[in-house]
Structure 1
Amino acid sequence: MSKTLCTSASLVAAAVGLGLGLSLLVGTPAQANPNPLFPQLFTADPATLVDEGRVYLYTGVDEASPTDTDYVMNEWHLWSTCDMVNWVDHGSPVKALSFAWAKGRAWAADITRRDVNGKPKYYFYATVDHATVPGLSIGVAVSDSPTGPFVDARGSALITNDMTKQTDIFWDDIDPAIFIDDNGQAYLYWGNTVLKYVKLKPNMIEIDGDIHVVPIEPFTEASYLHKHKGTYYLSYSQGFPEETIYATGPTATGPWTKRNVIMDVNRNVKTIHQAIADFNGKSYIFYHTADLPGGAEFRRSVAVEEFSYQADGSIPFIPKTKAGPTANPTPACKAGAR
């Protein structure tokens, strides 16, 4: 990829260090890439939003050095495409420290759109480390645009570690997955080791009722909920190293029938973390590997595959490829994004 067409982590750091922010880097067009998608950054934990003819892809950024023994993640990065092949780099629309009550850790996130008084609002649910409540928490940020900037919608965490007592680990409240059903009811799924969900109020920033535990075992993390032709699909990671599996149900809360493994374990990294989206009549699964040069457990790389549901509605096993999907353009899609 041409250096003039892509943003590198060093350029981002230099711009921030000079007080320029990302204004000079946002909206940089990127040439078509095979998998992994973005060789200029180590990226992880994909979250997707399909909005007005574009796919927006939000990723964590792995900043760990080759010798680090833990995740180093401070912000989320945003990319978008009109055709699933050519991606535009929009820089970082939100950071862990965008939440004043957090002390860091920009872990997995998810996003959705909800119109308020006829105008679109974009809600970004993010895993961060709470500064005063021990453990990882979930916050929610909001923007008038999918490209941000996002600001804290509450001034406090939506979910904190002391609200869930099913396990005694500090990372059991991670990997938020947001889903709005056809009737407007929003659900938030999340968890590590134990899968949980809660209804949200129409304002999208308050829980509505009790936190529920989903009786799925074994469950590791990375829950994701979507709907296809009247069936609800709950995908997630099981085992460690992780493989991606899914269950189906008649409602957004189940009951869930466990189905088959749809993506195998990775090489060189134990996690995988999927997101699934439909775009222009085709279906896609995003995930991460460690397949970039220098990739490793804490230096991951987002990739994408196209897949087709089988006649009975089941999701087939999806191989990982270097080629990725073929072009699937939106005719009226603009070169940039709002």
Structure 2
Amino acid sequence: MLALTLFAGLSLGTALPNAPGSNPIIRDRFTADPAPLVVGNRLYLYVGHDEARDGEMFNMREWLVYSTTDMKRWTPHGPIMRVADFRWAKADAWAAQAIRKNDRYYFYAAVEHDDSNPGKAIAVAVSDRPTGPFVDARGSALVTNSMTPKGTHSWEDIDPTVFTDDDGTSWIAWGNRQAYIARLKANMIELDGPITEITPPHFEEGPWLHKRGSLYYLTYASLDRSRHKDERVSYATAPTIRGPWTYRGELTGSAQNSFTIHPGIARFRGRWYLFLHNAALTIGDRKGALGRRSVTVEHLRYRPDGTMIPVVQTTAGVSR
């Protein structure tokens, strides 16, 4: 019993609560759905802003961005967009990701479409700077619920992840319970070909695409309902972006106090990092909850065969 207690203490980390790089990394407001973007010697982190009051599940109206040069100290750059900036959308500034292409920055975000095309949709905005301001690049949704008619529910078109391959071709993947992928045109604001379903085992939401060496990775929030009540992070790998995808198992356990979890992966200054969120943060009298989450980060390591070593979520984070 003593050994187990010591192990649990070590797993949580021994860093001081406010040590630079410890978790959660943003402490003045509730943040969720982290999406890193590396530009030169700076890492930008795009997050949703949780503003749920008691009794609410989610209340998200804007997206924020922070940046760092050392993974320990984070500079806020304020809101980069509000859901109201997409005039055709009516609510829900949900998970998003930004990518650099053609010396511009493209921001893909999940929102609730207005009643002209009900259901969740994916928007795309553009800016000349990673910190914005971003503006609607199309004046309409890139993906709508009506474009994936075989899905089982109206909120399947969420959580976009965008990846540019070595040949310069960009791809977007997204989904909830069903996972989809499509190629983007060079202008980054139109699909270039059909939408393909690529749902891996236990897929729930929050896909993230990246590549390391010759191997492609699809990391995502998973939920094996026969075993767990909360999401975990799982992943699959493939020899090409088109698949076939091979399920590799769970990468993390569930997030503290949170049903949801959301991965974001980046290589920065020679090291790999896994961004997540939990609901462990308390701000004043407001405790973490389903709609009051907080972003965390951990080191990510790989085995020689390319598989990822399971990540234990800690309070120490990357402080040491």
TM-score, normalised to structure 2, is 0.89
2:132 corresponds to 1:144: no
**Structure 1 residue identity aligned to 2:143:** I
Matched, 1:114 2:98: no
Matched, 1:124 2:107: yes
Question: Counterparts in 2 of 1:156-235, with a 5 A limit?
Answer: 156-235=140-219
Task: Please state how far the C-alpha of 1:246 moved relative to its aligned partner.
Answer: 0.7
Q: Distance in 2 between matches of 1:33 and 1:316?
A: 21
Partner of 1:75: 62
Classify the secondary structure of the residue corresponding to 2:84: helix
Letter in structure 1 aligned against 2:94: W
Do the aligned residues in 2 keep the contact of 1:31 with 1:87 (CA within 8 Å)?
Answer: no
Paired letter, 2:22? P
Distance, in Å, in 2 between the alignment partners of 1:229 and 1:164 is: 32
CA deviation profile, 1:221-249 (whole Å, cap 9, x unmatched): 11110001111111111115111011111
Task: Say if 1:32 and 1:87, in contact at 8 Å, map to a contact too.
Answer: no
**What is the distance in 2 between the residues matched to 1:33 and 1:275?**
17
The equivalent residue for 2:15 is: none
For residues 228-243 of structure 1, what are the structure 2 equivalents within 5 Å?
228-239=212-223, 240-243=229-232
Encode CA deviations 1:250-294: one digit per residue, 9 max, x unaligned. Answer: 111211111021110123211110000000110000000001020
Q: Match for residue 263 of structure 1?
A: 252
Do the aligned partners of 1:166 and 1:194 also contact (CA within 8 Å) in 2? no
Tell me the alpha carbon deviations over residues 283-336 of structure 1, each in whole angstroms, 9 at most, x when there is no partner.
Answer: 000000001020011110000001221122110110111111147xxxxxxxxx
Residue 24 of structure 2 aligns with which residue?
36
Cα distance, 1:32 vs. partner? 3.0
Partners of 2:301 and 2:111 lie apart in 1 by 34
Do 1:112 and 1:122's aligned partners in 2 also have CA atoms closer than 8 Å?
yes
1:302 maps to which residue? 295
Task: Determine whether 1:62 maps to 2:50.
Answer: yes
Contact 1:224 1:274 in 2 (8 A): yes
Which structure 2 residue ranges, 5 or more long, are not aligned? 1-17, 224-228
Match of 1:52 in 2: 40
Q: 1:39, 1:217 → 2: CA distance?
A: 34
SS of 1:220's partner is strand
1:281 aligns with 2:270: yes
| Secondary structure of the corresponding residue to residue 79 of structure 2 | coil
Deviation at 1:31, TM superposition (A): 8.9
- Give TM-score, length-normalised by structure 1: 0.84
Preserved CA contact (<8 Å) 1:192 1:220: yes
In 2, Cα distance between the equivalents of 1:291 and 1:92? 23
Q: What does the per-residue CA deviation read over 1:7-44, in whole Å, with 9 as the maximum and x for residues that have no partner?
A: xxxxxxxxxxxxxxxxxxxxxxx993520011101000
Identity level (%): 47
Counterpart Cα distance in 2 of 1:245 and 1:145: 32
The alignment covers a number of residue pairs equal to: 293
**Structure 1: distance between partners of 2:172 and 2:238:** 16
SS in 1 for 2:158: coil
Secondary structure of 1:272's counterpart equals: coil
Structure 1, unpaired ranges of 5+: 1-29, 328-338
Aligned to 2:226: none
CA RMSD for the aligned pairs? 1.4
Which stretch of structure 1 is more off in the superposition, 212-221 or 101-110? Answer: 212-221
**Is the alpha carbon distance of 1:253 and 1:292 closer, same or farther for their aligned partners in structure 2, counting shifts above 3 Å?**
same
